[in-house]
Amino acid sequence: MALSHVHNLLFVKHKRAPLDCIFFPMIEVVPSRIAAARATNACPTVSLTPQTVRAAFTKDSDLFTEMGVRYLDGLLDMEDEPLFRRQMFDMWEGVLGLSWEENERAIAAGRETLAEYDRTVRAAAREALDALERDNRLGILLLGRPYHHDPGLNHGIPEELQKLGYPVFSQSTLPIDDDLLERLFGEEVRAGVISHPLDISDVWKHSTAASSNLKIWAAKFAARHPNLVAVELSNFKCGHDAPIYATIEEIIDRSSTPYFGFKDIDENKPVGAIKLRLETIDYSLKRARESLLQRGRQTERVEKWLAGYEQRLRRQLGAELDADDSSSQGITL
């Protein structure tokens, strides 16, 4: 897919509006919120994709040079801030003629913009999740890789699920408000099972790959939230996915959370098979929602009975206190 995107930039976009640069860095380490992770490395195949693209467009002749476009594919460590600043400066100094101070201001502005985007999307996700809880509906938590946001790779599965009426949540932007994390993970933290709500060490010790770490934590999130269903996507027989298939399925199975996996969507022409599976998912989720509504009705009946019982106890206690007061006033010394 990366080759197609760069080809489109050079032979379509560049002709419409000339490009100066294509910035496609090799990202080695990415920021992560996962607690106590051993490392947060990006997938090596994804990291080296910019080099693969360069090789494809410079095999017979350097198309970037011929078309007057600079191709920037330097290595970036986004977790080590001082190193990241130096790497960005080395890549852009010759292109923009910027100073070190300008480089730092630009990175700070970029970080703040990214943080604001993150806050905005997570707030929208929390609002959608709260709506599911209020209405006793189900939503889909997509367990995948960053590239599964690309319609060319996800085969339109998230969009089709949305059309069926199920809000789709990305594992990258799940709400992480303190009250929500306390509700889902607080008991385990207090029991010492995990050190933090975002800790995955109880289920996965080899926490070196950032995307795998996040995928496993998202599976834990889905397993603990009654209104979420897990749908897992995997492409190209992903080497990082294979070791965690069983872990994710075990996490989900222990909670009886509905789970559906699309692990073979690149094997053959999948349109018909995917459509049939989506219809099966829709049927299964309708049954699951019926169970959710039934549990809700049972809970409502129990809560109503408890409220009535509490009122009866309060009335009984009040009557006893009144009787004691009357007896005390009738005693003469």
Let me know whether 179 and 83 are in one domain.
no
Distance of alpha carbon 246 from alpha carbon 218, whole angstroms: 15
Distance of alpha carbon 131 from alpha carbon 165, whole angstroms: 13
pLDDT in tens, 262-271: 776 666 455 5
Stronger pLDDT, 46 or 291, i.e. the higher one:
46
Distances (CA, A) of 97 to 108, 210, 218: 18, 34, 42
pLDDT bucket at 45, cuts 50 / 70 / 90: confident
Res. 10: pLDDT tops 50: yes
Query: Which strands sit side by side in the sheet containing 228-233, from one edge to the other?
Result: 168-170, 139-143, 228-233, 259-262
- At residue 257, the pLDDT reads 84
- Per DSSP bridges, beta strands 75-77 and 139-143 are unpaired
Let me know whether 144 and 64 are in one domain.
no
Let me know whether 273 and 144 are in one domain.
yes
3-class SS of residue 204:
coil
pLDDT in tens, 138-155: 899 999 887 777 777 777
Least confident among 36-40, 41-45, 327-331? 327-331
In a domain, 82, yes or no: yes
- The tokens describing 12, both together, are 């379509």
Let me know whether 140 and 272 are in one domain.
yes
In a domain, 102, yes or no: no
In a domain, 24, yes or no: yes
pLDDT bucket at 332, cuts 50 / 70 / 90: very low
Phi, psi of 191 (to 5 degrees): -80, -5
Let me know whether 145 and 211 are in one domain.
yes
Q: Where among 51, 67, 87 does a domain terminate?
A: 87
Q: Where among 24, 54, 87 does a domain terminate?
A: 87
Contact 91, 85 (CB under 8 A): no
In a domain, 299, yes or no: no
In a domain, 301, yes or no: no
Res. 226: pLDDT tops 60: yes
Res. 114: pLDDT tops 90: yes
Q: Where among 60, 87, 114 does a domain terminate?
A: 87
- The Cβ-side half-sphere exposure at 24, using a 13 Å CA radius, reads 21
Residue 203 sits in which domain range? 136-292
In a domain, 65, yes or no: yes
For the segment 11-15, the average pLDDT, to the nearest whole number, is 95
High-pLDDT (> 90) share of the chain, %: 55
Least confident among 55-69, 189-203, 219-233, 247-261? 247-261
pLDDT in tens, 54-112: 999 999 999 999 999 999 999 999 999 999 999 999 999 999 999 999 999 999 999 99
pLDDT in tens, 120-136: 999 999 999 999 999 88
Res. 311: pLDDT tops 80: no
Q: What's the burial of 115, exposed, middle or buried (CB within 10 Å: 0-12/13-18/19+)?
A: exposed
Contact 260, 277 (CB under 8 A): yes
Let me know whether 288 and 142 are in one domain.
yes
Let me know whether 52 and 158 are in one domain.
no
Contact 57, 105 (CB under 8 A): no
- At residue 293, the pLDDT reads 63
For the segment 237-256, the average pLDDT, to the nearest whole number, is 81
Number of folded domains that form the chain? 2
pLDDT bucket at 325, cuts 50 / 70 / 90: low
- At residue 309, the pLDDT reads 57
H helix runs in 22-99, sequence order: 44-47, 49-57, 63-66, 81-96
- The tokens describing 289, both together, are 């929602």
Let me know whether 146 and 267 are in one domain.
yes
Distance of alpha carbon 18 from alpha carbon 205, whole angstroms: 48
Q: Residue 275: which CATH number?
A: 3.40.50
Let me know whether 83 and 182 are in one domain.
no
In a domain, 320, yes or no: no
Let me know whether 52 and 157 are in one domain.
no
In a domain, 104, yes or no: no
Stronger pLDDT, 273 or 194, i.e. the higher one:
194
Residue with tokens 């929208």: 124
Q: What's the burial of 70, exposed, middle or buried (CB within 10 Å: 0-12/13-18/19+)?
A: middle
High-pLDDT (> 70) share of the chain, %: 80
Let me know whether 79 and 225 are in one domain.
no
- The tokens describing 39, both together, are 């490392």
What is this structure's pTM? 0.79
Distance of alpha carbon 237 from alpha carbon 240, whole angstroms: 9
Least confident among 71-80, 157-166, 186-195, 206-215? 157-166
Distance of alpha carbon 79 from alpha carbon 29, whole angstroms: 6
